[in-house]
Amino acid sequence: MPNKTPFSIEFFPPQTLEGVEKLRATRAQLAVLQPEFFSVTFGAGGSTQARTFETVFEIQREGHQAAPHLSCIGSTRDHIREILLRYRAEGIRRIVALRGDLPSGVGDPGELRYANELVEFIRAETGEHFHIEVAAYPEYHPQARSPKDDLLAFKRKVDAGANSAITQYFYNLDAYLHFRDECERLGLSVPIVPGIMPIVSFSKLARFSDACGAEIPRWMRRKFEAFGDDSDSIKAFGLDVVSELCARLIEAGAPGLHFYSMNQAGPTIALCERLGIGQVNTRQG
């Protein structure tokens, strides 16, 4: 029997024509799995935003559900209203609402400073048209003053009208389970979907994790370091670790999985094959 766990896949907007073509090929491979939706990240800079629109609209016109990220930092209500109108016109029904990071050298945080204000604005402007996803941080946001402050910030997003959440990636199952329990104690019942980062290069993962505050457990770090430059062993061990994490999350009742593809098809396909989710499993059966 195929595993019916719902899942989604995230891309970042390509910055070159070559990148556009590569992402089209990647998307064609991943579309066979039939994810619930493809999300596309969104930068606070003008050119990045334009690339996001192009990617989102192309996904939607291919017949897939696109879920654009929308950040409010450094923006205005009028600009966000204009984006929402464009998305409605294209038939977009899902948005990932984020605060975002202020671009380097820009001092004005804009008219909406926090993600809960963005969620509230989207609801005021569009009612229930959009399914709104927000971010969650099982290991707590690196800028949060305390775990309690971070949980209360998440509660404000839910209270403002968020339908569900996607987490920052993590490799510590207990962190997710503890965060979920804490949310339940606050009376929050929205689905909290684990964000899953496949492991292809440990050096890149280590840099990225150090920057965003995601912990790599010491036992994992030591094992990866012991492989040195043996990329095949790193990929094989990474697949073992992440697929086991996903299986345990599914067993623990996670409402789905959200794969950070890094615009590559292979790692996500390998995980889906290992887990038996998506159309890979039924095609082989």
Q: Phi and psi of 40, rounded to 5°?
A: -135, 125
Amino acid sitting at position 235: K
Name the CA dihedral angle for 277, 278, 283, 285, rounded to a multiple of 10 degrees. 20
Per annotation, catalytic residue among 10, 117, 133, 139 = 10
Residue with tokens 């305390």: 146
As beta bridge partners, residue 135 has 166
DSSP 180-248: HHHHHHTT--S-EEEEE---S-HHHHHHHHHHHT----HHHHHHHHHTTT-HHHHHHHHHHHHHHHHHH
The span from the CA of 67 to the CA of 95, in Å, is 5
Q: Going by C-beta distance under 8 Å and a sequence separation of 6 or more, which residues neighbour residue 186? A: 151, 155
Q: Is 182 considered catalytic here?
A: no
Cα torsion 169, 210, 204, 232: sign: negative
The whole-angstrom separation of Cα 12 and Cα 45 is: 14
Contacts of residue 170, defined as CB under 8 A and 6 or more positions apart, other chains included, come to: 138, 139, 176, 194, 195, 214, 215
Query: Locate tokens 């409010």: which residue?
Result: 72
Q: Are 138 and 177 in contact (CB under 8 A)?
A: no
CA 175 to chain centre: 17
Catalytically active residues are 10
